[in-house]
Structure 1
Amino acid sequence: MKYIEEKAEDLLTQLKVNKLPINPKVCAEKLNLTVEAAMLEDDISGIFLAENSEYYIIYNKNEGTLRQRFTIAHELGHFILHKDLGVFVDRKSTALYRNSSSATGEVLKEREANAFAAALLMPRILIEKELDAISESEDIIEILADKFKVSKPAMSFRLSNLGYELF
């Protein structure tokens, strides 16, 4: 999914965003998307809606800050990668990935949006810069997760996808 990395990097360059932590809400708003918190069902993290050339990201206001950040970045990924397709409702449950929707390409689109969110919130170049400043004796994942304002599992997964072996 190298093209997704490039799309995220291009967006950050276009928006002149290069300081930590990346704010996905500001990125979306710079692209004229409306971003709103709402009371959503417990199993819904976010919604991307394209309607009459207007674009909306709605995220669950009952979730934690780190989850909200990732959700906004994920929905922004749908905008950048799939905006012509209309509506995406992102549920917490992984059951979505094991049912009939698996054959429709929906799973691929969700993976693409997740990859975009990871690349946006944790850009490779900024990870490399931060890794250079951390000593080997420190808890690298915890330090990076804190700097990038993402969860430790998200940072661990991102580092693994970038080819870092930290264990």
Structure 2
Amino acid sequence: MNYGQYKNARNASWQCLIDYNIDSLPVKVSRIAKQTDIVLLKNSAVNLLHQNESGTTLMQNDKLYIIYADEQSPQRCRFTIAHELGHIFLGHLFAKNGKGFAITDDAEHSANVFARDLLAPACVLHEIQVINAAAIANLCDISLEAATYRAERMAELERRNAFYLHPLELQVKEQFADFISKNKNLP
């Protein structure tokens, strides 16, 4: 994935946080879906996912449906929904059959970056100094695996002091100001 695509995914996650007035962690992906009129469906109710598939997005009669594998952990389900929202907000093209998105490595990586940055915004974690995987998993209600990837990226951002280089990130920090203030001294 090239840096331009990475930045687009990151910026889209910040814009989503701003547009849907998210100001605390953990981010409620169901609230974003509801506000955008996207229907969330448990696969146990519709049985549309293939084996080993975590989620997909379908469009039917101009309505979007995110189907997620609800037998997976709640944390994994949250990431899957955020990933599918990433495909939607990043404008990825639907597959020719209208079921899910055209699969490319770049699209999948972009959707993962979007989901990671939506569920665990780096500037908020930086401000309250929650930068190790276990603490990130706990605060953001994401899997330890996802939190480990976020912690690795946080270490790089902290090393480079690479925060607030884009105005959207500063807006996210300001939007989370009360949450940051209340959680400044987390262990």
The TM-score, its normalising length taken from structure 2, stands at 0.70
Query: Does the C-alpha gap of structure 1 residues 27 and 77 become closer, same or farther in structure 2, counting only changes over 3 Å?
Result: same
1:62 matched to 2:71? The reply is yes
Q: Helix, strand or coil: the match of 1:21?
A: coil
Displacement of 1:164 after TM fit? 4.6
The answer to whether the 8 A contact 2:136-2:151 is kept is no
RMSD, matched Cα? 2.2
Shift of 1:160: 2.1
The residue identity in structure 2 corresponding to 1:152 is L
Q: Which residue of 1 aligns with 2:54?
A: 45
1:87 to 99, 105, 108: 99
Q: Which residue of 2 aligns with 1:150?
A: 142
Matched, 1:24 2:29: yes
Alignment gaps of 5+ in structure 1 = 90-103
Shift of 1:141: 1.8
CA–CA distance in structure 2, aligned partners of residues 67 and 111 of structure 1: 16
- 1:24 CA drift (Å): 1.2
Q: Counterpart of 1:36?
A: 41
Deviating beyond 3 angstroms after TM superposition, the runs of 4 or more aligned structure 1 residues are none
TM (norm. structure 1) is 0.78
Q: Is the 8 A contact 2:133 2:144 kept in 1?
A: yes
* Deviation string, structure 1 residues 114-166 (Cα, Å, up to 9, x no partner): 111101101122111221xx5xxxx9321121010011221121232342579
Deviations 1:4-33 (A, max 9, x none): 111111111010011010011211111110
As a proportion of its length, which structure holds more strand?
Answer: 1
Separation in structure 1 between the aligned mates of residue 127 and residue 99 of structure 2, nearest angstrom: 36
Q: 1:71 aligns with which of 59, 80, 100?
A: 80
Q: Which amino acid aligns with 1:53?
A: D
Return the letter of the residue paired with 2:99.
Answer: V
Alignment deviations for residues 68-122 of structure 1 (CA, whole Å, 9 cap, x no partner): 0100001111111135424327xxxxxxxxxxxxxx8611111111111101101
